[in-house]
Chains A and B, each alone.
Chain A
Amino acid sequence: MSVLRLEDVSIRYITGDFKDIGLKDFVLQKLRGNYRVREFWADRHISFTLERGDMLGIIGTNGAGKSTLLKAVAGIMEPTEGKVTRRGTIAALLELGSGFDGDLTVRENTYLRGAMLGYTRKFMDEAYGRIIEFAELEEFQDRPFKQLSSGMKSRLAFSVASLVQPDILILDEVLSVGDGAFRKKSEEKMREIIAGGAATILVSHSLPQVREMCGKILWLHKGERVEFGDDVQGICDRYEAFLEKC
């Protein structure tokens, strides 16, 4: 049974004049007739399935629809058409530092973050020590979060998300953080999670990393699926050739 199945998923995105406006501007713009909303398909007819232990790499240029697709997988967005079926728990790391509060201490943030990812208090009490140890932040536990360096912040985010055994783990451009030593450690951790049976989705602009870690590749371009399959090296080669042509 597949852990994650996307069937013909299309997501329509809207942008336009409605952001950051007031009721007054809205009425005025409506009256003048220059209130514009642009709709476009961020993802069009995307289908794939992931089994336990799969590691999928999603590649594509900016605006290819990678992040939007991940949001649909995580349940933050609803697909306009098509269906997303998930089995089990999801831990999504879409942006490091999101959901952290600068004024709270590292300890409080760890708990808050854990709660957001759906862990129980009992689990957090038990895992807290391991999380801090993995993030190498033992001396910073009671410091306000804003005093940490960006590397430390992402280390903490990664540690909280990875110390559970999620069924589906989503990583959007987060493995390229931290210093070399931590990156190595986090990649090892990733392998451990995958070996434990999780299906993982990795979005990365670092092709060498994708080549090395992923077992399946989805190449998106302007919302359309260009290629999908387990011929990792082949697809990456063609993607690189495509990038050079641009």
Chain B
Amino acid sequence: MWQRLKKHQFLFEELVKRDFKKKYKRTVLGMAWSILSPLLTLLVMRLVFTQFFGRDTPHYTTYLFCGNLIFSYFRESSNEGMSCLLGNSKIFSKVNVPKYLFLFSKNVQTLINFGLTLCVFFLFCVIDNITFTWKFIFLLYPIACLVVFSLGIGLILSALFIFFRDIRYLWTVFLRLLSYLSAIFYTIDQYSKMGQYAFYLNPIYVFIRYFRKIVIEATIPTLEFHLLLLFYTAAAFGLGCWMYVKYNHKFLYYV
């Protein structure tokens, strides 16, 4: 595995470079836009929802930002990931290259955006009087899981997109519904016990909840919580890899 990665390292770097150049070629704001857009969403949400939920939610700005930070990364990663196999069909149908490289290189970019937004997030935490504790180290766990989870979803979606071109619209609708179900701007206290548990069926909510526990409540989630995240991550990534292995030589019939 390591040998193979090493062998394709050069191609990977060149693909990352290509994706970068292509993405930011025509936009003047370029990378800044990628940070501005979640910030604008945050601003609007803060203005609108503070009236309803902000009064009794401590650190409501941070609460909102946790949700937006994770959801916008997931949205971008899955949307960009979806088209990266079809978009490179001219290449993989003529040259024998590992197909997952296209997705991974695209995700490097999304990850950098995420990193930058994360820096802004910490800045906002300071402004919002959040106490930084050693427990912040634990954030590395959900971040690592989130990255692998999103890669898995990207693998699944990009494979499906080769077979069915209307997946894009379905996914857009699904993402919107998912965002409403992720408790980004509201709290789930008012739901019954069962209702609250139901939220854990949504992986994105679990990621957001982990962040809030560490940052706002300064508590480390339970072991079960960690295992749940690991389960979602392994399931998504495993399914994605399985699809790529199974259809590796079949994709080219569909493009």
Known: A75-B96, A116-B91. Is A103-B22 also a contact (CB below 8 A)?
A: yes
Q: B166 is contacted by which of A24, A111, A119, A124 (Cβ under 8 Å)?
A: A24
Q: How far is the CB of A66 from chain B (nearest CB, A)?
A: 15
- Looking across the interface, which residue of chain A has its beta carbon closest to that of B249? A78
Residues from chain A with a CB closer than 8 A to the CB of B96 are 74-76, 90, 92
Which B residues touch A77, using CB under 8 A? 249, 252
Residues from chain B with Cβ under 8 Å of A15 in the complex: 253
State how many angstroms separate the Cβ of A27 from the closest Cβ of chain B.
10
B239 at the interface (CB under 8 A from A): no
Q: How many residues of A contact B (CB 8 A)?
A: 37
State whether the Cβ of A112 lies closer than 8 Å to any Cβ in chain B: yes
A117 & B249 in contact (Cβ 8 Å cutoff): no
Q: Which of A26, A99, A101, A119 contacts B95 (CB 8 A)?
A: A99
* Distance in angstroms between the alpha carbons of A100 and B254 in the assembled complex: 21
Which residues of the partner chain B approach A23 to less than 8 Å between Cβ atoms?
164, 166-167, 170
Q: Report yes or no: B249 in contact with A94, Cβ–Cβ below 8 A.
A: no
Which residues of chain A have a CB within 8 Å of any CB of chain B?
13-15, 18-26, 74-78, 90, 92, 94-95, 98-99, 101, 103-104, 108, 111-112, 115-121, 124
For A117, what are the chain B residues with a Cβ–Cβ distance below 8 Å?
Answer: 95
Residue-by-residue, is B92-125 near A (CB-CB < 8 Å gives 1, otherwise 0)? 1111110000000000000000000000000000
| Contact between B21 and A103, CB atoms less than 8 A apart | yes
Contacts of B7 in A (CB 8 A): 118
Q: Pick the interface stretch among B10-18, B59-67, B189-197.
A: B10-18
Contacts of A98 in B (CB 8 A): 90-91, 93-95
Query: Chain B residues near A115 (CB, 8 Å)?
Result: 10-11, 13-15
Count A-B contacts at CB 8 Å: 85
Interface hub of A98, A115, A118, A121 (most chain B Cβ within 10 A): A115
What's the Cα separation between A120 and B95 when bound, in Å? 16
User: Which residue on A lies nearest to B17, using beta carbons?
Assistant: A108
* Chain A nearest Cβ from B179, distance in angstroms: 22
How many chain B residues touch A (CB < 8 A): the figure is 30
| Neighbour of A103 across the interface among B25, B165, B170, CB < 8 A | B25
Q: Which of B17, B92, B95 contacts A92 (CB 8 A)?
A: B95
B163 touches A (CB below 8 Å): yes
Instruction: Tell me which residues from 230 to 255 in chain B have a Cβ below 8 Å from any Cβ of chain A.
Output: 249, 252-255
> For residue A119, which residues in chain B have a CB less than 8 angstroms away from its CB?
10
Q: Which chain B residues have a beta carbon within 8 Å of chain A's beta carbons?
A: 7, 10-11, 13-15, 17-18, 21-22, 25, 90-97, 163-167, 170, 249, 252-255
Residues of B within 8 A of A92 (CB): 94-96
A226 to B171, CA, bound (A): 50
| CB nearest neighbor in B for A22 | B166
Chain B contacts of A26 at CB under 8 A? 164
Residue of A18, A75, A99 ringed by the most chain B CB atoms within 10 A: A99
A26-B164, A99-B91 as given contacts; A120 in contact with B10, CB under 8 Å: yes
Q: Would you give the shortest CB distance from A232 to chain B, in whole angstroms? A: 28
Provide the bound-state CA to CA distance between A13 and B252, in Å. 10
Q: A108 touching B164 by the CB < 8 A rule?
A: no
Tell whether, in the assembled complex, residue A22 and residue B165 are in contact, meaning their CB atoms are under 8 Å apart.
yes
A111 proximity list for chain B (CB < 8 A): 14
Shortest beta-carbon distance from B171 to chain A in Å: 11
Contact indicator A108/B90 (Cβ below 8 Å): no
11 more A-B residue pairs beyond the given contacts A103-B21, A108-B17, with a C-beta to C-beta distance below 8 A: A14-B253, A15-B253, A18-B253, A22-B165, A76-B94, A77-B249, A77-B252, A92-B95, A103-B22, A104-B22, A108-B21
Bound CA–CA A120/B13 (angstroms): 11
CB contacts (< 8 Å) of B249 on chain A: these are 76-78
Contact assessment for A108 and B94 in the assembled complex, using a CB-CB cutoff below 8 Å: no
- Contact in complex: B254, A18 (CB < 8 Å): yes
Contact across chains for A21 and B164 when beta carbons are under 8 A apart: yes
Q: Nearest CB to that of A102 among chain B residues?
A: B22
> Which of B11, B18, B94, B253 has its CB near the most chain A CB atoms (within 10 A)?
B94
The 9 closest A-B pairs by CB, nearest first: A22-B166, A115-B11, A98-B94, A23-B164, A75-B96, A115-B14, A78-B249, A94-B94, A99-B91
A15 CA to B254 CA, complexed, in Å:
8
Measured between beta carbons, the chain A residues less than 8 angstroms from B22 are 101, 103-104
